[in-house]
Every structure is written in structure tokens, then in C-alpha cells.
Amino acid sequence: MASLQNQFFKKKIKNPVFLASGVLGMTGGSLEAACDNGCGGVIAKSLTSEPRKGHDGPNIVETECGMLNAMGYPNPGIESGLAEFGGWKREEALIISIVGKDAAEFGQLAEKVESAGKTLGASAVEAAISCPHTPGYGTMAGQGTPESIIAITKAIKDACSLPLIIKLSPSIPGEGKAAKAAEDAGADAINMGNSLGPGMKIDLARRRPVLGFGVGGLTGPAIKPIIVRAVHDIYGSVKIPIIGTGGITSGEDAIEMMMAGATWVSAGSAVYYRGPRAFGEIAKEMKAWMEANGVKSLKDITGVAHEKTRGC
């Protein structure tokens, strides 16, 4: 029998399919609902030091090849957010996502997470340094350079004892070097990636960009080949595990991401295309593929594509 059981740091989880941050993750109840719909774990909405309203709407628009979104990190702030997401007692893993403007602020946010202690119930903390459409954060703040990654990683590791995931951008070349910088600075895992961009869609009647912020990050099936390639590059550069995020809407998508080198995958836009039960459906499709192809364990396929591409 094929098994989707997976180890997420110290926690055993039922499958490697996670809810991506920013999708259905605004409340504790929405995180639990995602788990009820089949997730093996959830990544909560990213938290900043102070409450943020986010960008003015419209915030999401469908394009010919995917969706553009420009949310701008709307959230209640770190203290209210931890109170909302805390007390996690489910078997699924909870990851707390934090967003800062510099290494010092990331360290302060990590201290808040550490202060919440075991009552928080989180299995890891994620540093999102890859948003392509929010001034002062992510790629718009230059956080994708090896130097910035090292500083942010060290600041968080100095302040928090939880395993640390660094969320990198597919929009900046050199993902392998960026991941290696994070690993050398103490990161425990890499999340590749985030939305791609920024991109723009123009309303022909209004002759203006559709999104309230003007530009946004591209998500959906169109970016999956980019993420698969980036995960493949990172797998060959580091020894720490990888979460593959971007364009996963089916079990075969998830299997492909794992063959590239991902230990876990996370999905967001799949909810738009398949509804809230997408996570459980993806997991079922993964298991069906494994059974049809004689694969008993996820470990048997993780990174297997590298055996076929040596010398490329």
C-alpha cells in the first residue's frame, strides 16, 4: 500500500500537502477548515509588526494564464495574529509566517513567536522575503540577495527556537545560491516559492490597470514550470528540505514537484480552480498515482529527477 505519511520536523503528518500562506488562512477557523478538507499542514497568513490594511482593491484578477493578486499583507499584526492562530492542537502542522522590513524587525517578530511558547502549538516559523508587490517588503525591499538572506536568517535563529523556513522568490535568478546562503546561516528548510512578477492586466474600457495597486504577483498553473525548475536547482544546492509552492492543482503536479526535490508541497490557487476540497483531492490523486506506479513511499520519488538530468 502506498503511504502519504510524512515527517514535518518533529511532527508526523498524514500527507505532504499544505495550505499556502495568504489563502484561507486569515483566522484559526479557516485554518482548521483547510485541515478538515485534507491538508497535512497549514501556513497561516503572514504577520507584520503592526496591523496592515493592505492594498486597495481590486486585489485579484484572473488572466489568460493564471491570476494576478496584490494583497499587500493585510493582517491584524503579530500580537493579535498569534492570539488568533495560537492554541493549535490538531494533528496537522501549523506554520507561522512572519514579514519584516529588515533583519532587525524579523528578529523582533521571531521574539514574539518565541514568547508565545509551547501554547502556540506551531511546528515551524516561516520568513516570507519574496513578495513582488508590497513596497518595503520582499523583493521590493531587496530581501532576495544572499547578504540580506543571511542577515534575516541569523536574526530569526537568534530569537526563536522553532525550525525556520525561508520563503524565496522565483522572480530573482540564482535560487540555488540564495537557498545555500539561507542554509549556511542556519535555516532548516526552504519554501520555493511565491507569486511571480510583478505583472499587470489593463482594463481596456477604463484604460487603467485592473488591480488597485496596479501590479501584482502571478499565480496558478502558468508558474508551475518555473517553480519546478527552481526546486530542482535548489535541491542540487542544499541538504535541507524544500517546500514546493506554485501552480499545484493536481496530484500529478505535486508528484512532479517532489520528483524535482520537494519534500512537501503547498497549494493556494488550487482552491480557486477546484474549491476548498482541493487539498484532499490532491492527496488522493497522489496516492492513486503512487499505487498505479508501484511507489510505496514518498521518499522513493523525492529528487528522483536528478538521476535523469545529470550533466544537463
In the 3-class helix/strand/coil scheme, how is 196-247 assigned residue by residue?
Answer: EEEECCEECCCCEECCCCCCEEEECHHHHHHHHHHHHHHHCCCCCCEEEECC
What does residue 126 show for φ and ψ, rounded to 5 degrees?
A: -120, 135
Looking up cell 542540487 gives 236
Joined grid coordinates for residue 301: 520519488
Joined grid coordinates for residue 202: 489593463
Q: Is 312 known to be catalytic?
A: no
Looking up cell 482548521 gives 32
> Do residues 67 and 219 touch, judged by C-beta distance below 8 A?
yes
- 126 vs 162: CA distance, rounded Å: 10
- 64 vs 67: CA distance, rounded Å: 8
What does residue 110 show for φ and ψ, rounded to 5 degrees?
A: -65, -35
Q: Which of 35, 131, 160, 312 is catalytic?
A: 131
Active site residues: 131
